[in-house]
Amino acid sequence: MSLEATVKYHFPKTASFAGMPPATASDSLSGTDYMAAMGMTQSRAPLGYAAFMGKVGVSENDAARAVTLLTEYALSTCDKVAALRKLRSDIKPAVMQTLATYAYMDYCRSAASVKPCDCCQAKGFIEADVFTMKSPLSGGYARNVKETVRVLCKQCGGKGVVSTACRDCNGRGRAVMKAETEKQGVPVMGDCKRCGGRGFERIPSTEAHNAACEITDVISIDTWKKSCKPFYDQLIGKLEIEESWANSALNKVTS
């Protein structure tokens, strides 16, 4: 049993809480068995289990717990980075929580995610200058009058958000390789170079840096790129590793 298979038990369509109809197999797990298996997985791999459940939208509490556990991990390992080790003890927890929050948001991203529209600042409308011909009330010649009006944002269509799906592969992660296609004369598919095969855009690490700079100004952009960004990427990787471990633990319990 995988983590993906547990999602349906949190959004049941019927009152039955079982993996399959009881009549199909005499040795099938019961609803109590599944609940016990998920509880054991949660105790063995708390970070991975909470991260996954928060990512798929099962529980906001799990998402908050995942950020808390990742913050604790960041605090226990950040002293390996000189720039983070030098942070004052009163601001270090806040910086680690910020990095953990952005790492978790990046971990939760997919081709189906959305992000605020940069063009209209998530408002759905932008201000534009238009010229109209108007005649004065007292008579005379009409003239062009410049006015500032609100118009629908073309980038998001007035929604205020845009998709994070890669524009080159449309979220599929695979795209036509032009060089190989021209060489072989037939369409050749490969991992999208723009998104690296993920199918979506990651959150720019500079956003995490900007958020950290609101807490402290001792981390320059050069320091961030040289030493802090690898640590930030490590936090994202930690979530992926913990999810894999939780998935393996659940498979072992239910096998």
Domains of the chain, earliest start first: 3-109+202-254 (1.10.274.110), 114-162 (no CATH), 164-198 (no CATH)
Q: What mean pLDDT do residues 47-73 have?
A: 93
d(CA 67, CA 104): 7
| % of residues, the chain, pLDDT over 90 | 40
Question: What count of Cα atoms within 13 Å lies in the side-chain half-sphere of residue 152?
Answer: 5
Average pLDDT for the chain: 85
d(CA 112, CA 13): 23
**Two structure tokens written together for 171:** 């979220």
Among all chains, which residue has been given the structure tokens 């993906």? 4
What are 126's strand-pairing partners? 151
d(CA 118, CA 87): 32
What pTM does this model have? 0.77
d(CA 57, CA 53): 6
Closest by CA to 81, choosing from 92, 90, 68, is 92
Closest by CA to 166, choosing from 137, 147, 135, 191, is 191
Q: What mean pLDDT do residues 24-34 have?
A: 64
Residue 138 has what pLDDT? Answer: 62
